[in-house]
Structure 1
């Protein structure tokens, strides 16, 4: 694929960076658990777009996401790589007057537990490849978009926007007893402070939200919040629950049974002496999205 075509296909995802959180594409993990036959299993896959459980495809012409890692971590910390769906844009397999048909790969795979499986919490997570967007006016006053940092572009007259984007997604599979989850210090993290293996309708579910290990906090300069919705509550009517993040803490009360997604977006300014100083001169902002999915019982 030539560079121009790749830029065009990425514009859909890039455009969400300036939109409200509810309109932005999200990356999430689907985990369809079954314990009808012990010790149980889950079928996992990736979600991309707006609507649980399945919306768009990873290589959508409306805005693709390149998944860099998709893993399963055991309770003791052993990491197993899961198959990553392709993000390479492809032509439709069929074209018609009314619609086009695309083959869809969203990474579905079955994780079958064993009698001797380690007890505890298995973490399923995905991370997108860091992507750089620089929108600028060139020396001939033409508006341009490049998928690189601004310091590598030779014909810039004026930078309009320069961003580094990453998305993080997590879900959990519990065998036996829930374990408290710890921060990794990487990117934007939504860490459950409630046992997600046994959430029931009406329960208050608490989260810690960190950006590179530091608590987010609603302020005049950064109105950080989480949203929560489900295909059984809010999503189909176009709204979500919302909770501002205070001293890194936020909480929601789940309203229905089914799969729920809690998500957050955060934009941070790159400064010469700040936490993101290694990016100074390369981009002006870092934009992260994060999600956690879990199941709610009656």
Structure 2
């Protein structure tokens, strides 16, 4: 009974959790003998490249975190890009994904690297207008016309990471995001059927409860897997190779305002 119940919950929550999310993609190559990683942003409904970043997405930070914790600023998505073509029922625009190449050589520091971003906090207000219609807005309360009643206020922040290893695995350190997923398994040695484990932190401390979802880029039509968080720990058995995206959402109500944090980690499995 418990398994059936959990699978049902996973199927119900999949569409809401992965609806137009934001994450980091990392594509690894060793074709020329040295390691090359191309990182960029992902947005849409499924892992890997699906859509382009909207001008409405504003980042506080986008960095490459070295194995010992030093941060190197990465280029953020451009804003205000113009259309290339828009006629004959066809629209072409630049793909605004902040793609950039990270090259490693023999002298590059060994260990686990992290591409990490944090968005600016957005405020979403749900309200009734004077005709009793339910509406949503990102405007400040004072700017809402025809306002009858505020139903809820949510402050939302997205954190995303992608982890990759140069030669030798080292366990990544927390970087100070409000909500963090940190792998504790050697991700360079994981294969299908093996278990990946995570440390789950909220404000630097183990998250006591919640659940993490997992979605594979190679199985987009499948329901997401999910695992309960127990005392800051979560784990999954990997069902196929390729890029996986692991996501957690944590909500708290503070003085009548819902604080919503979402964190993701993308990892490539052999």
Pick the TM interval, shorter chain: 0.7 to 0.9
Higher strand share: 2
1:231-265 deviation line (CA, Å, top 9, x unaligned): 223x2x24111111122211111111111111111
- Residue number among 107, 112, 115 corresponding to 1:116 in the alignment: 107
Tell me the CA shift for residue 38 of structure 1. 3.4
Question: Which of residues 236, 244, 248 is equivalent to 2:232?
Answer: 248
Aligned equivalents of 1:228, 1:195: Cα separation in 2: 18
RMSD over aligned CA atoms reads 2.7
| 1:66–1:87 Cα contact (<8 Å) kept | no
TM-score relative to the length of structure 1: 0.76
- 2:170 matches 1:179: yes
Tell me the SS of whatever aligns to 1:200.
Answer: coil
- Which residue of structure 1 aligns with residue 9 of structure 2? none
**Residue 75 of structure 1 corresponds to which residue in structure 2?**
67
Indicate if the aligned counterparts of 1:21 and 1:265 stay in contact, CA closer than 8 A: no
Cα deviation, 1:10-47, whole Å, max 9, x if unaligned, reads: xxxxxxxx995444222111111112333311111110
> What's 2:35 paired with?
40
- Within 2, Cα distance between the matches of 1:87 and 1:76? 32
Which residue, 281, 285, 290 being the options, matches 2:263?
290
Query: How many aligned positions are there?
Result: 257
**1:50 aligned partner:** 45
Question: How far apart, in 1, do the equivalents of 2:51 and 2:178 lie?
Answer: 24
CA distance in structure 2 between the aligned counterparts of 1:165 and 1:225, rounded to whole angstroms:
18
Structure 1 unpaired stretches of 5+: 1-17, 219-223, 272-279
CA distance in 2, matches of 1:19, 1:258: 20
**Offset of 1:68 from its aligned partner?**
2.6
SS in 1 for 2:126: strand
